Structure 1
Amino acid sequence: MLDILLKTLPFFALIGVGFAAGQMRVFTAEGTAWLTKFVFYFALSAMLVKLCANLSLADLFDLQFASAYLLGCAVVYGLALAVAFARRVPLAEAAVEAQCAVIGNTGFLGVPMLVMLLGPQATGPVLLVLCLDMIVFNTLITLIITGAREGRMQASTFKALGLGLAKNPIIVSMALGLAWGATEWPVPGPVNDFVALLGAAATPGALFAIGASLAGRRAERLGVAAWLSFAKLVLHPLAVAICAFWIFDVDPVAAGVMVAAAALPVAGNTYILAAHYGVAPQRVSASILISTAVSILTVTAVIAWVTGG
């Protein structure tokens, strides 16, 4: 496990550097927001185009894999909802808590770290996890919150969701990469160099941005945040592992990547959704802070387990 810790440490060290920069005001909240946009719209998109250009749709999508992941998520999602309802939490807040319990920081942390640590064979599985998180659960929480507030669903809600997915740079970049890969044409040298150069900024930029964004967070509602962090870092990968290895018999390598992705800390975009709708943003912020700090050990332990390390 020490060997795995030494390999994961540089990733978390970059997060730590970003956190220190934010704490010392060397990097302001406004600067963090612009860096996050650069990574999301440009660097990460370039990385995904390059990764997907070497994949086929069959490499990316596997029904057994998707079924195992969604069932594992559903179990933990339902448990988080039940715990929230037992505390008499309103539906919208309960949905946000459930989102914290199952949606990890796959885009900014999972893709660069798991592909580098687990090898190229991790690319398809981790990207499928990213797609399922965005398409299924980001859509679900939007529908729940909208339905809870308005009491009904409108056609405009579904239209906005569809347009949002169609314009999402992660979805668009993956589609472009897969489309190019399907042609089997070689990528022109200058284009390949450009995409590689821009994509190389994704990993350090994303990790630094995660750390800098954590500097502005405060650990409030510690009891709830600790429970949600436990659900995300322990219960989620455990449920996914049971579904992948023992219920659906997913390919062991892909199953290991799935479990490692499930072990990632609470995603930053969950806070963006919570803040946008004004539903428990402080609770989400504390969960992100605690889960990211603790994940240095838990993610290392899970990766060591799935790799036999």
Structure 2
Amino acid sequence: MNIVSIIFPLLFLVLLGYLLTDRKFFTETQIAGISKFTFYVSIPAFLFLNMLAAPLSQTLNIHALLAFYVPVLILYGLGFGLNRLFAPESLRTTRASGVFALGASYSNTVLVGLPIIIAALGQDMLGKVFMIITFHSALLFALTFILAAKGQAQGFSWRQFGRSMCLNPVVLSILLGLLANAVGLVLPQQLQAGLRLLAQPALACALFVLGANLSFYRIGNDWRLALLASLLKLLLLPALVYLCGHWLFALPADSVAMLVLLSASPLGVNAYLIATQLQSHQGTLATCVVLSTLLSVLSFSFWLWLLL
């Protein structure tokens, strides 16, 4: 398959979103409105419908989960340790190291990984992709908040965290689709048609919004740490996932390709929001979002060439 034919349409949408926003055709407020529709309406409809139709017997694979999450946790631990070694003295705290580790291991699975996988491998992989995505944010965000709460008087609240995860539109739509699939729910045709209309612009809007949001960030003084996190994220993580999937668990070639492409995705903007909330490495992760997104073109091209 021609790699350019896979990547170019996706890059076109990202670049269009960036240029139109950078040239002030869309304001930040307007992009916020498009983002809200995308993440709270269109993408949840897309995820719910595809999870509803997914063949569950072929979806849950413990070896696939291990092949993805064992390397992710290894990278998280490595990022934590490297921050303790190379970050400025004021950023070597447990909280800051956890945020940097998140930047080195958290993937933009929905906005970038999902469109790439659909373009390269087709719709048949969606059920497996969603099972990976379901645990992704919950695991890494929980780990980061636990580390940030270490030594803090208020500690970490599992109840509050569980509530926020359950109300996350991506997690909630996947879980509801999974539940509806398990009980054999059949939606009325009119409702299905309405949801399909909502779902159609999901991936295009997600890529457009990604490009638009990149126009709000700039590569700043924290570029060295951001580059380190980006290289860990784009080079080492997919390599470890490939080794685990192909050699350790001997997964089918399409499953290995799906896992590697997910792990080769750039840093998700949600990681920057966590950094802002925890007041640690905000500049580093904002820069990493931009750098890793730009460098992911090379990362994806290499892995598509190798795997397809």
TM bracket, shorter-chain basis: over 0.9
| Aligned 1:1-309 pairs, distance under 5 A | 3-87=2-86, 88=89, 89-148=92-151, 150=152, 153-154=155-156, 157-220=157-220, 221-307=222-308
3-state DSSP of counterpart to 2:150: helix
Question: Are the aligned partners of 1:76 and 1:239 in contact in 2 as well (CA < 8 Å)?
Answer: no
Amino acid at match of 1:143: I
Query: Residue type of the partner of 2:155?
Result: M
Aligned mates of 1:31, 1:227 — CA distance in 2:
33
Structure 1 CA distance for aligned equivalents of residues 226 and 7 of structure 2 = 24
Unaligned stretches of 5+ residues in structure 1: none
Q: SS of the counterpart of 1:107?
A: helix
SS in 2 for 1:217: coil
How high is the TM-score relative to the length of structure 2? 0.93
Give me the whole-angstrom Cα distance separating, in 2, the residues matched to 1:14 and 1:7.
13
Name the CA shift for 1:300/1:277 in 2 (closer, same or farther; >3 Å). same
Contact kept in structure 1, 2:121 and 2:254, CA below 8 Å: no
Pick which of 6-15 and 124-133 moved more. 124-133
Give aligned-pair identity as a percent.
23
Query: For the Cα contact (< 8 Å) 1:56–1:178, is it kept in 2?
Result: no
- How far 1:117 moved relative to its partner? 2.4
- The 8 Å contact of residues 125 and 258 in structure 1, kept in 2 or not, is answered as no
Distance in 1 (alpha carbons) for counterparts of 2:41 and 2:114: 15
Q: 1:140 to 1:101 in 2, by over 3 A?
A: same
Long gaps (5+) in structure 2: none
Cα 1:250–1:151, aligned 2, differ >3 Å: closer, same or farther?
farther
Q: Can you list the C-alpha shifts for 1:252-297, whole angstroms capped at 9, x where unaligned?
A: 3212100110000110110111112221111101001011111112
CA separation of 1:161/1:58 partners in 2, compared to 1, >3 Å: closer, same or farther? farther
State the TM-score, normalized to the length of structure 1: 0.93
Q: What RMSD, in angstroms, separates the aligned Cα atoms of the two structures?
A: 1.7
Q: May I ask how many residue pairs the two structures share in their alignment?
A: 303
Superposed CA deviations along residues 188-239 of structure 1, whole A, max 9, x for unmatched, are 2211211111011211111111011100111111111111111111111011
Residue 163 of structure 1 aligns with an amino acid whose one-letter code is R
